[in-house]
Each structure stands twice: as C-alpha cells, then as structure tokens.
Amino acid sequence: MASLDMKTCIGKIILEASHHVICTSRSGKGDTCNQLPSLPPDVNECELNPNICLHGECENTKGSFICHCQLGYFVKKGTTGCTDLDECATEAHSCNLNANCLNTPGSFRCACQEGFSGDGYSCSDVDECADNVNLCENGQCLNAPGGYRCECEMGFNPTEDSKACQ
C-alpha cells in the first residue's frame, strides 16, 4: 500500500482510519493532510458492570455493548439489561385452553382451571356428578365442561347458579 504522502485526494475526502489522517483537496490540485485527534480507548462496559446484562451475556462492542438475553428474557427498548418476557400476556405459552397461565421469572406455569384436572398443558373435565352422587338432592346432576348443573325434580327450583335444588 502506498504511503499516505503518495495518495492523491483530488476532489475527494479520504479517511485513513489506521493513521487517523484525513486528506482533502480544495482546489483540485495537491493534497492537504491533517492529523485527526486520537480516538479515546474503548471502555469495556461488560467488565465495568458485571450485572449490566442480568439474565444474559454481555458482549463488548466498540463504544458500546450488546446484551444477549437468556430464553424467557428480552432487551426492552430504552433499557440496557434483560427484562422478563411475560409469556402469558403475549400469548407465547403452551397452556391448555382450560388452564390459567402464570408468569414466572424467565418462564411460565400452567394450572388447570377449577372443574378440570391435569398438568396445565393437558386439562380434562372433571365429572363432578360421578365423583359425588349427592350433589343435586331433589334433582339430577348433569356434568358440564368445567362444572355441573342440577336439573330439578318437579316442585323444586334450581338455585341461581344451578348447583342445587330448593
């Protein structure tokens, strides 16, 4: 590579980053080369603050850093660290339709709703009528998804929630 004083900069601005020199030509004849001020040394933010990317890995970059977050975390706009991803709020979960999603740090849990049983990822209807034959005194118990209702005998009326006959 030719040395800097042999370069022709006619009509151009050339930046020699390795030498921190800028060459300009104002008249189209000859070079004017000026030394630029030295760039400050890079600061390693990852070493300065080991917790800067809590729940992630910090990667130092020239003049900054990048957080690579663990699964279940993300870099929220306007922040520097990793923030918990609420899988329940964003519907990024695999809970059963008959389960409730509960956010936890970096993850989530699933729990079957009342009237259903299972691990939260698979929920089956509980047959309350088969489990408790005396649920509907003076009536017949009818299983329903997630619960039951009473069909009352003549002369009896169902309660407001249809869970008993009176």
Pick the residue with more confidence: 158 or 1?
158
pLDDT, tens only, 119-145: 999 999 999 999 887 889 999 999 999
Q: What would the two tokens of residue 100 be? A: 């409730």
Q: Buried b vs exposed e over 56-85: b needs ≥16 C-beta within 10 Å? A: bebeeeeeebebebeebbebeeeeebbbbb
pLDDT band at 4 (very low <50, low <70, confident <90, very high): very low
CATH class held by domain 45-84: mainly beta
The Cα 108–Cα 96 span in angstroms is: 13
DSSP 131-145: H-TTSSTTEEEEEET
Answer yes or no: is pLDDT of 86 > 60: yes
Answer yes or no: is pLDDT of 2 > 60: no
pLDDT, tens only, 6-50: 344 444 444 444 444 455 555 555 556 655 566 678 889 999 998
* pLDDT at position 39: 66
* pLDDT at position 26: 55
Strand 73-75 versus strand 82-84 pairing type = antiparallel
Pick the residue with more confidence: 17 or 112?
112
Q: What is the 3-state secondary structure (H, E, C) of 19-34?
A: CCEEEECCCCCCCEEE
Q: What would the two tokens of residue 56 be? A: 């992630």
CB 141 within 8 A of CB 127: no
pLDDT band at 56 (very low <50, low <70, confident <90, very high): very high
* pLDDT at position 5: 42
- 126-165 has which CATH code? 2.10.25.10
pLDDT, tens only, 97-110: 999 999 999 999 99
Mean pLDDT of 110-122: 96
Domain with CATH 2.10.25.10 in the chain: 45-84, 86-125, 126-165
- Right CATH number for 86-125 from 1.10.8.870, 1.10.287.70, 2.10.25.10, 3.10.450.50? 2.10.25.10
Q: Give this prediction's pTM.
A: 0.60
pLDDT, tens only, 65-83: 999 999 999 998 888 889 9
Neighbours of 20 (CB within 10 A): 13
